[in-house]
Amino acid sequence: MLTSPKRKVLSLSHIMTALLQSSQPLLAVLIDPDHRDHPNYETLLIYLRKGLADLILVGGSTSKRFNVDLICRELKQSTDLPVLLFPGNHFQLSPHADALMALSLISGRNPEYLIGKMVEAASIIREYQLATIPTGYILVGTTRTSATAYITNTQPIPVSQPNIIAQTALAGQLLGMKTIYLEGGSGSEQPISTAIVNTTKKSIEIPLIVGGGIQTPHQMMDLYAAGADVVVLGSILEQKPEMLDSFYKVLIEDRIVYD
Ligand code: 1GP
């Protein structure tokens, strides 16, 4: 039942519910564990400790297992935010994370990244007792080859094919995915267009995560308005971690939480 607004910063259970039910727009920060030595990493941690995001994703195309584990432990010790594994390969697992985004690269036709990596990871996931969030991962084509496209040996879906993008998302939902991650590729020159986000969102009922190339709070808000349930920031915060403050402030200005 809706009662009066209580607070603007979300609790862990609220965030997990919001993630799986699209009940609140969420802001996720992606940390590449191999960039832990980056001079801005400590500054970013300061902002995350203040709770200026809703969740943290940990992973990268080539991250090492040791670094993944280390960073998950650090983040869980020093922040209250949910930490989700966003693995580039089956080595990027840690029992210290809250959950694993179990990715299937459904935009590609490489069986290794559709199912193979999950088969290799399955027994470790069970051993670590990690909760999984089945995620249909859709790489959308930009002007340059992204690290994800290169490493996974797959073609992104061209931006000129919004209907194929939307149909792929729907196929993911029909196969039982709990969320769709629409990815423009880390460090893209610009985010995925709002038209593509909108068409994709209209084709599915599950939450839509959008990432790649987001550099300003304005771009982020446009993506939420177009239908993104979660927006992911990576590169911009490696370059300018202090910007997390303005991204989060803009987001929670509109946010009202009901019990
Ligand atoms: C990459 O979508 C994420 O998987 C984040 O991309 O680094 O461009 O923010 P950026």
> Other C-beta atoms within 10 Å of 38: how many?
15
Residues with CB under 6 A from ligand 1: 30, 183, 186-188, 211-214, 232-236
The fold of the 12-253 domain, in CATH, is TIM Barrel (3.20.20)
C-alpha angle 155/88/59, rounded to 5°?
130
pTM over 0.85: yes
> What's the gap in Å between 183 CA and the centre of ligand 1?
7
Using CA atoms, how far residue 104 sits from 4, 28, 75, 154, 177, in Å, is: 40, 20, 25, 12, 9
> What's the gap in Å between 1 CA and the centre of ligand 1?
36
Least confident range from 102-116, 187-201, 244-258: namely 244-258
> What's the gap in Å between 231 CA and the centre of ligand 1?
10
Least confident range from 23-27, 98-102, 123-127: namely 23-27
Task: Identify the residue whose tokens are 């995001």.
Answer: 53
Using CA atoms, how far residue 215 sits from 38, 56, 234, 247, in Å, is: 19, 17, 9, 10
Which are the contacts of 212, defined by CB distance < 8 A and separation ≥ 6?
A: 140, 142, 146, 183, 184, 185, 186, 187, 188, 191, 192, 232, 234
Q: Which of 105, 230, 235, 247 has the most ligand 1 atoms within 8 A of CB, as the residue to mutate?
A: 235
Paired residues of 131 in beta bridges: 99
| pLDDT higher than 60, residue 120 | yes
> What's the gap in Å between 256 CA and the centre of ligand 1?
27
Nearest Cα residue to atom 4 of ligand 1? 186
What confidence score (pLDDT) does residue 8 get?
A: 54
**126, two tokens:** 């069970």
Per the CB < 8 A criterion, the answer to whether 238 and 40 are in contact is: yes
What confidence score (pLDDT) does residue 7 get?
A: 41
Confidence category of residue 12, pLDDT binned at 50, 70, 90: low
Task: Identify the residue whose tokens are 């809703």.
Answer: 54
pLDDT in tens, 66-90: 899 999 999 999 999 999 999 988 8
| pLDDT higher than 90, residue 178 | yes
Confidence category of residue 3, pLDDT binned at 50, 70, 90: very low
What confidence score (pLDDT) does residue 256 get?
A: 62
| pLDDT higher than 60, residue 2 | no
> What's the gap in Å between 249 CA and the centre of ligand 1?
20
What confidence score (pLDDT) does residue 62 get?
A: 78
Q: What percent of the chain has pLDDT over 70?
A: 93
Atom of ligand 1 nearest to the CA of 233: 9
Q: Which of 142, 151, 183 has the most ligand 1 atoms within 8 A of CB, as the residue to mutate?
A: 183
Per the CB < 8 A criterion, the answer to whether 205 and 144 are in contact is: no
Confidence category of residue 40, pLDDT binned at 50, 70, 90: very high
